[in-house]
Amino acid sequence: MNISKVIKIFILVTVTTNSFGQSSAPKYSNEFLSIGVGADALAMSNSVIATTNNVSAGYWNPAGLALLNNDLQLGAMHSEYFAGIAKFDYLAGAKKLDNNAVIGLSMVRFGVDDIPNTLELIDADGNIRYDRIKSFSVADYAFMFSYAKKSKIEGLRYGANAKIIRRKAGEFASAWGFGLDAAAQYDYKNFVFGAMFRDVTSTFNAWSFNTSELEETFILTGNEIPENSLELTLPKLLLGGAYKFEISEKFGGMTEIGADVSFDGKRNTLIKSNLASIDPHIGAEFNFMKIVFLRMGVGNFQEVPDFDNVNSTTFQPNIGLGIKFKQFEIDYALTDIGDQSIALYSNVFSLRYAINKKESNTIIGE
């Protein structure tokens, strides 16, 4: 077997281990949408389903957009994982329609770029030709169109997302998908409750494959040549409950407990069964005059076996800071996308900018 065939087998394994084109509902389908956006939310271990109320609510819980205090709010975030190999980008905007309704648009991209394609490294004469190396990207995109409205019931608001998914692995495979999210929030005195039913109708990804360059490798390795197929993402229920409090005239805070409930089989979470797996997390935020914020959170509880095959429970702590100044807000989080023993911690920054028609110097609302 020559080098060219070895390279083709490597790409084959890479493609198959990413579960491209499964016709059933695989675990972790579209899981890039579970990473999270906004350094404020990441610092609180994603415990924001009940309290999110800015432009990032279009991602976390669109019902929270109904509390937008500005005519227009823009948000952005860039983060890198695995020593900069993978990049995560987020852009969003939300606009008030009136005092009760808000619309929003969010875009997420998670990808690995500049991957060498060495399929043509060896020419017809068996010579190694580095000038024949090309590069490609493997990237996932999501476009979310949000709508939120305050209910006639005091303290109740609801929202929904319509999202378009685009996934692409160079010229080898690509998919288009569509799904819906439904969400609500409710205030009761100092308590806030929230629920986000992500992929409430299941999200459908239609995969298409270009196997012309890899067909020989599939045959040599005895693997079935993939066919165009449909991949389903099952619903996930995100729950949150928070309590807001005042410490003094200038100091305040809130704490939120959340739980992500998935229905795609048993996962390595703190609470799990064949029916559902529950991933709990908790976050807290303290503020000084609602200008300076200190945030922290704990989540991603998992059972990990040691060398003696005895399970121990691991968790992921996060911490962050935030500052609001007039129309600007900048947030910082020290976090990662897994347990601290798996991935290096990343420094994540996110920005928000508010625009008001009548008052251009209003501080971004809580």
Q: What is the mean pLDDT of the chain?
A: 86
Residue 129 within a domain:
no
Which residues form the domain of 233? 27-109+141-355
Residue 8 within a domain:
no
Whether the per-residue pLDDT at 62 is higher than 80: the answer is yes
Q: How confident is the model at residue 338 (pLDDT cuts 50, 70, 90)?
A: low
Strands (E), 132-235: 134-150, 156-169, 173-188, 191-198, 203-209, 229-233
Residue 10 within a domain:
no
Q: Which residue has the tokens 């590069």?
A: 135
Residue 362 within a domain:
no
Kindly state the average pLDDT of the residues 294-308. 88
Residue 115 within a domain:
no
Q: How confident is the model at residue 363 (pLDDT cuts 50, 70, 90)?
A: very low
Q: How confident is the model at residue 304 (pLDDT cuts 50, 70, 90)?
A: confident
pLDDT at 162: 97
Q: What is the pTM of this model?
A: 0.84
Residue 3 within a domain:
no
Q: How confident is the model at residue 343 (pLDDT cuts 50, 70, 90)?
A: low
Residues 146-178 have pLDDT tens digits of 999 999 999 999 999 999 999 998 888 899 999
Residue 355 is encoded by which pair of tokens? Answer: 């625009």
Q: How confident is the model at residue 124 (pLDDT cuts 50, 70, 90)?
A: confident
CATH of the domain at 79: 2.40.160.60
Q: Which residue has the higher pLDDT, 309 or 355?
A: 355
Kindly state the average pLDDT of the residues 38-64. 97
8-state DSSP, 65: G
3-class secondary structure for the chain?
Answer: CCHHHHHHHHHHHHHHHCCCCCCCCCCCCCHHHHCCCCHHHHHCCCCCCCCCCCCCHHHHCHHHHHHCCCCEEEEEEEEEECCCCEEEEEEEEEEECCCCEEEEEEEEEEEEEEEEECCCCECCCCCECHHHCEEEEEEEEEEEEEEEEECCCCCEEEEEEEEEEEEEECCCEEEEEEEEEEEEEEEECCEEEEEEEECCCCEEEEEEECCCCCHHHHHHCCCCCCCCEEEEECCEEEEEEEEEEECCCCEEEEEEEEEEEECCCCCCCCEECCCCEEEEEEEEEEEECCCEEEEEEEEEEEEEECCCCCEEEEEEEEEEEEEEECCEEEEEEEECCCCCCCCCCEEEEEEEEEECCCCCCCCCCC
Residue 87 within a domain:
yes
Whether the per-residue pLDDT at 357 is higher than 90: the answer is no
Residues 6 or more apart whose CB falls under 8 angstroms from that of 285 comprise 40, 44, 253, 254, 255, 293, 294, 295
Kindly state the average pLDDT of the residues 94-115. 95
β-bridge mates for residue 191, sequence order: 188, 243
pLDDT at 172: 86
- The total number of structural domains in the chain stands at 1
Q: Which residue has the higher pLDDT, 107 or 3?
A: 107
Residue 222 within a domain:
yes
Q: How confident is the model at residue 306 (pLDDT cuts 50, 70, 90)?
A: confident
